[in-house]
Amino acid sequence: MKIALLGIGLMGLPMGRRLCEAGHSVHVWNRTRHKAEQLAPLGATVHTTPAQAVKDAELVILMLDHGGVVGHVLFDLGAAAAIAPGTLLVDMSSIKPIEAKDHAARLSELGVEYLDAPVSGGTVGAEQGTLAIMVGGKAGNFERAVPVLKVFGRPTHVGPIGSGQLTKLANQMIVGATIGVVAEALLLCERGGADMGKVKEAITGGFADSRILQVHGQRMVDRDFAPRARMTVQIKDLRNALATASEVGFDAPITALFEQLYAQGIDHGLADLDHAGLFVELASRNGMA
């Protein structure tokens, strides 16, 4: 299949690699061209503009930073107008549900079909093809996309357009809050004299066990905060969740608290750390190295 992939960042690069390895004809674009050129040795065609990349594509995939960038690439840089009518566009970026609905409506006027399909699993999941993919849109379009989405992981159809993004917000609310609780708990144990690594080992398999404890908790133990998903990405998702909650008249005090904590960490110079770097902010508050 001829597939256009717009956005070759931390997630887009391994996803593009998997598409190439699966035998697809992959056409890529990225604002910073050299990132897209990393896929050229695998057979991908690198384009100068997004409009060139999507021309004659059978499927278009977006993996961009946020809703504003998605709108800019589609409607200001000419990508949407260059997509052939009847083509399916799958936006795998993490954006607001209201933005997904707006983009879908504008694309529909051009005859372009749409799915919102954000992912969870980070760069590890993208590399291994184990991403959780939350898909909103028509059931028929979901079935069209499934063979390609399975290259990336496990797709689940969760409802109409916007539902994928709503599900991703739920995911990120849980991730952000759980990272904070794991960090606070491990730091409390360290302050009290326990070995953080052994604490993590001791509670593994109990009710407090989780993917966050195993992956992000280990990063905390190792003091490894190299960015997989940055603090800035986490706060963007929390703010999108709060904006969506406001739109539907829902009070989300727990999410609001963690948005404040991540914001304070970013204000203190932690923006480029992995989102497990909230540990550093909480350690600093307690005078711990």
Catalytic residues: 168
Local structure of 121: helix, strand or coil: coil
CB 89 within 8 A of CB 115: yes
Chain centroid, CA 174 distance in Å? 14
Distance of alpha carbon 255 from alpha carbon 262, whole angstroms: 11
Local structure of 89: helix, strand or coil: strand
Crossing angle for the helix pair 12-21 and 139-152, to the nearest 10 degrees:
90
CB 30 within 8 A of CB 88: no
Number of H helices, E strands in the chain: 14, 9
Q: What is the DSSP string of 39-68?
A: TGGGTPEE-SSHHHHHTT-SEEEE--SSHH
Query: What does the block give as tokens for 154?
Result: 């496990």
Query: What does the block give as tokens for 100?
Result: 């997904």
The residue among 185, 117, 180 whose CA lies nearest residue 153 is 117
Neighbours of 259 (CB within 10 A): 20
Query: What does the block give as tokens for 283?
Result: 């350690």
| CA angle, 16 then 19 then 20, to 5° | 90
